[in-house]
């Protein structure tokens, strides 16, 4: 049988979407009492429920056909096998090797990378334990009380997000994160700290990122000023792939933890970029975190695609984005400790799949990555959920929640959290009809005139899509699984769109222009070649800053 063409399957998906256009998700539930069983999957304690979406068995069949036609499984295997799937940078994509806890080698260009990975892990473990125990002291011989990670993007978001997520396991020194070049960030952070007991980790894959280099230089001055130039060595460590540039900064070799060009910044939490997390929770818990991701890698590699959670997450995403035309997706963790998870996913998803040219260099013919956004529940309920329920845009919602909390003595809180999470997905599904609202008003004794005016405003249309991911408890292993499932979902979507999910050329232009604009902001260069808006803004700033 000739291989189907993804374009033809997209066409069939569109026809199918037309055919079920007037079907409501509630109709699908009413017609099939086993709908939840048909449209939910589990991997150990992780449950993925996608039944509250407008899709049928035929939809799923077509989506699976699409994945086959786009060769997603073969592409997945090529990634795990170390092929150079990042074609614009001619690099392998092997963050999965960083958490490979099997005995199997991983080859990049014929070389097994596992011995180097394991060596860095051992060095990180020794350093982390040294800082945690107080064996590695500050210049004045004191135990470090605070660690400041200086990095941005992938060198910041992963460590920040995971440190917050794993607060119950945090038994090391206090952790702080400085990313923004806005001097307020480092100033506010340093204001709370004692230089004599503060360690800095400079985290930058390239060791050229201007924000990180600027903050690092400020931190270095702060230590030199308060503790003396000779203290710098004891108070700094670095994480980078550019070991020569780190040496030039003056950080000694035994305090530099490397990684490799086949680790993308937004996929680097599993590498030495995870050092602050390891210092916070200890090497054993960090190993559990890697183990969780490895377990998800195994699931993604081996589970049949119809039972494969990241595959299904990706296919539901494609259905929403390409066929039903939804522009955004909201990530809504009912888990306060995942408060930075939406921000983390913004980089993971939008920097990976915010592309409009295929790997062949031609313009894409479908939409690609959606806008990802979100906040933890229940807070979001009291802010933007209004628009999700009654606004004119349809926003697929992705709920995440733990069956069990860490707060054994606060079960009443957790019961409420769970009830709210389930209530929101139920409300999105069912809505509230005009008849229901009118009945209620009549019971309350409102006049027919009032009812005609008020009732339509209280209608919830319902029929709004959501998925729910439930895990047992937010521990290091589970966090590893969660992140890895989203990484693989991004992979599945990118593979279907035939884009390179592993480069990020779109961030370069702004960086180049900022470098050009700096002397104009400083007032040392004319802005005559700039557009009139930029010139006007510069003129205003010059005056406001008395330059």
Interface residues with ligand F6P (CB under 6 A) are 152-155, 204-206, 209, 212, 265-266, 351, 504, 507
Q: CB-wise, 155 or 162, nearer to ligand F6P?
A: 155
Exposed (0-12), middle (13-18) or buried (19+): which is 257, by Cβ within 10 Å?
buried
- As beta bridge partners, residue 357 has 363
From the candidates 413, 453, 511, 539, give the one annotated as an active-site residue.
511
User: Chain-centre distance of CA 124, in angstroms?
Assistant: 24
Annotated active-site residue 351? The verdict is yes
Long-range contacts of 117-121 (CB under 8 A, 24+ apart): 120/257, 120/258, 120/259, 120/271, 120/272
Residue 266 or residue 414: which is nearer to ligand F6P going by CB? 266
Residues 542, 522: Cα–Cα separation, whole Å = 9
Of residues 154 and 310, the one with the C-beta less far from ligand F6P = 154
Minimal distance, residue 351 CB to ligand F6P, in Å? 6
Q: How far is the CB of 275 from ligand F6P (least distance, A)?
A: 13
374 by Cβ neighbours in 10 Å (0-12 / 13-18 / 19+) ranks as buried
Among the listed residues 351, 375, 438, 487, the single catalytic one is 351
User: Closest Cα partner for 51 from 466, 424, 400, 337?
Assistant: 466
User: Which lies closer to ligand F6P via its Cβ, residue 205 or residue 294?
Assistant: 205
**Nearest-approach distance from CB 56 to ligand F6P, in angstroms:** 39
Q: Where are the alpha helices (DSSP H) in 210-282?
A: 210-227, 232-235, 243-249, 275-281
As a whole number of angstroms, the distance between CA 376 and CA 373 comes to 11
Q: How many alpha carbons fall within 13 Å on the CB side of residue 239?
A: 31
DSSP classification of residue 391: S
Cα separation, 312 vs 540, in Å, equals: 52
> Least distance (Å) from ligand F6P to the CB of residue 152?
5
User: In the complex, what is the shortest distance from the CB of residue 193 to ligand F6P, in angstroms, rounded to a whole number?
Assistant: 23
What is residue 385's three-state secondary structure? Answer: helix
Task: Name the token pair of 459.
Answer: 């209608």
Rounded CA-CA distance 385/388 in Å is 5
Let me know if 539 is a catalytic residue: no
| 197/504 with CB nearer ligand F6P | 504
Nearer to ligand F6P, 170 or 185 (CB): 185
Spatial neighbors of 127 by CB under 8 A, at least 6 apart, are 136, 237, 255, 257, 275
- Measured distance CA(280)–CA(173) in Å, rounded: 6
Phi/psi at 239 (5° precision): -130, 125
Residue among 209 and 368 whose Cβ is closer to ligand F6P? 209
Q: Strands, E, within 20-173: which ranges?
A: 40-43, 46-49, 107-108, 111-112, 146-150
| Closest CB to ligand F6P among residues 231, 242 | 242
Helix (H) or strand (E) holding 240: strand 236-240
Shortest reach from residue 510's CB to ligand F6P, in Å:
8
- Per annotation, catalytic residue among 21, 382, 443, 543: 382
Query: How far apart, in whole angstroms, are the C-alpha atoms of residue 6 and residue 495?
Result: 11
**Residue located via tokens 């799937």:** 85
Judged by beta carbon, residue 220 or residue 266, the one nearer ligand F6P is: 266
Strands 328-334 and 236-240: unpaired
* Largest Cα span, the chain: 83
Check: CB of residue 284 under 8 Å from CB of residue 477. no
* Tokens of residue 93, six digits: 């994509």
Q: 221 catalytic, yes or no? A: no
Our CB check for ligand F6P shows the closer of 278 and 397 to be 278
Catalytic residues: 351, 382, 511
């Amino acid at each position: 049988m000739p291989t189907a063409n993804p374009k033809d399957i997209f066409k069939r998906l569109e026809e199918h979407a037309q055919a079920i256009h007037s079907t409501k998700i509630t109709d699908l539930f009413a017609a099939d009492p086993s709908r939840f069983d048909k449209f939910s999957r589990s991997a150990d304690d992780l449950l993925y429920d996608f039944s509250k979406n407008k899709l049928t068995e035929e939809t799923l069949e077509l989506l699976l056909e699409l994945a086959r036609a786009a060769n997603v499984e073969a592409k997945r295997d090529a990634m795990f096998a170390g092929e150079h799937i990042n074609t614009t940078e001619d690099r392998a994509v092997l963050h999965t090797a960083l958490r490979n806890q099997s005995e199997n080698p991983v080859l990049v260009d014929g070389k097994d990378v596992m011995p180097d990975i394991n060596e860095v892990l051992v060095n990180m473990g020794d350093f982390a334990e040294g800082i945690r125990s107080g064996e590695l002291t500050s210049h004045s011989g004191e135990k470090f009380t605070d660690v400041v990670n200086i990095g941005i993007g992938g060198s910041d978001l992963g460590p920040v997000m995971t440190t917050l997520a794993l607060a119950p396991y945090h038994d090391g020194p206090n952790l702080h994160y400085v990313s923004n070049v806005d001097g307020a960030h480092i100033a506010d952070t340093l204001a709370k700290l004692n230089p004599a007991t503060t360690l800095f980790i400079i985290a930058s894959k390239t060791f050229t990122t201007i924000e990180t280099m600027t903050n690092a230089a400020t931190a270095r001055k702060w230590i030199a000023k308060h503790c003396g130039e000779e203290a710098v060595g004891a108070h700094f460590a670095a994480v980078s792939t550019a070991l020569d540039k780190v040496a030039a900064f003056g950080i000694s070799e035994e305090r530099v933890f490397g990684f490799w060009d086949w680790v993308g910044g937004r996929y680097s939490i599993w590498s030495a970029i995870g050092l602050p997390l390891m210092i916070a929770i200890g090497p054993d818990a960090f190993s559990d975190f890697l183990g969780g991701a490895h377990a998800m890698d195994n699931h993604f590699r081996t589970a049949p695609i119809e039972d494969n959670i990241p595959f299904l997450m990706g296919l539901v995403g494609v259905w929403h984005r390409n066929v039903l035309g939804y522009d955004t997706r909201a990530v809504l963790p009912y888990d306060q400790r995942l408060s930075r998870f939406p921000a983390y996913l913004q980089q993971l998803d939008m920097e990976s799949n915010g592309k409009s040219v295929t790997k062949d260099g031609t313009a894409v013919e479908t939409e690609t990555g959606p806008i990802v956004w979100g906040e933890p529940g229940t807070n979001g309920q009291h802010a933007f959920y209004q628009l999700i329920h009654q606004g004119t845009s349809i926003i697929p919602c992705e709920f995440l929640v733990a069956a069990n909390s860490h707060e054994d003595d606060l079960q009443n809180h957790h019961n409420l959290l769970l009830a709210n999470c389930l209530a929101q997905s139920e409300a999105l599904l069912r809505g509230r009809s005009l008849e229901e609202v009118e009945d209620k008003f009549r019971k309350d004794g409102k006049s027919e005139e009032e009812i005609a005016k008020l009732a339509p405003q209280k209608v919830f249309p319902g029929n709004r899509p959501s998925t729910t991911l439930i895990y047992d408890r937010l521990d290091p292993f589970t966090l590893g699984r969660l992140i890895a499932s989203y990484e693989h979902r991004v992979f599945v979507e990118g593979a279907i769109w035939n884009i390179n999910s592993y480069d990020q050329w779109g961030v370069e232009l702004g960086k180049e222009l900022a470098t050009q604009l700096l002397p104009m902001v400083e007032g040392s260069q004319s802005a005559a070649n700039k557009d009139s808006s930029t010139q006007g803004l510069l003129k205003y700033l010059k005056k406001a800053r008395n330059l």
